[in-house]
Amino acid sequence: MRERRKLKRRGMSYYMPVIDPKTEQIIGHLVDISLQGLMMDSQMSIPIDKDCQIRLNVSVDVADKNYIEFTGRCKWCRPDDLEPYLNDIGFEIISITPHDAEIVQRIVDKYGARENTFSI
């Protein structure tokens, strides 16, 4: 599959829950993020093209508030290669305030795993 992403996502070195703001339930955990989208792992599956409200709780080292919320559109959902009970779900961020976008960038800068930091 050809890579269509314009901004490279950064894997997370921090275990960050992804929350449904309506139910306050954890729907997955952040795997990687950029200003344009994110990937999470989840026990649930989400239909392609479904718009979801997403909340990420954030800490004072990256934000001046407790959480950010934005709208993400599911672009793909597939079983995880290593953990078959989990789904990898890719979202495009379709609506986010400029302030929350700045916080996303700080999350990427602070918690994004550096490329080539380990070898196999």
Q: Convert the pLDDT of each residue in 29-58 to its tens digit.
A: 998 888 999 999 999 999 999 999 999 999
In this structure, the dihedral spanned by the alpha carbons of residues 95, 31, 29 and 89, taken in order and rounded to 10 degrees, is 60
Provide the 10 A C-beta neighbour count for residue 73.
17
What is the CATH number for 23? 2.40.10.220
What is this structure's pTM?
0.81
Estimate to the nearest angstrom the gap between the alpha carbon of 118 and the chain centroid: 22
For residue 120, being part of any structural domain is answered with no
For residue 63, being part of any structural domain is answered with yes
Q: What percent of the chain has pLDDT over 70?
A: 81
From 65, 119, 53, 61, select the one nearest 91 (Cα to Cα): 53
More confident residue, 80 or 113: 80
For residue 68, being part of any structural domain is answered with yes
Average pLDDT of the chain, as a whole number: 85
| Alpha-carbon span 43 to 17, nearest angstrom | 13
Which pLDDT value is given to residue 100? Answer: 97
More confident residue, 16 or 92: 92
Which pLDDT value is given to residue 114? Answer: 54
Instruction: Provide the domain limits for residue 64.
Output: 10-111
For residue 81, being part of any structural domain is answered with yes
Residue 112 has pLDDT above 90, yes or no: no
| Alpha-carbon span 74 to 50, nearest angstrom | 5
| Total domains in the fold of the chain | 1
Which pLDDT value is given to residue 109? Answer: 86
More confident residue, 95 or 12: 95
For residue 69, being part of any structural domain is answered with yes
For residue 2, being part of any structural domain is answered with no
For residue 1, being part of any structural domain is answered with no
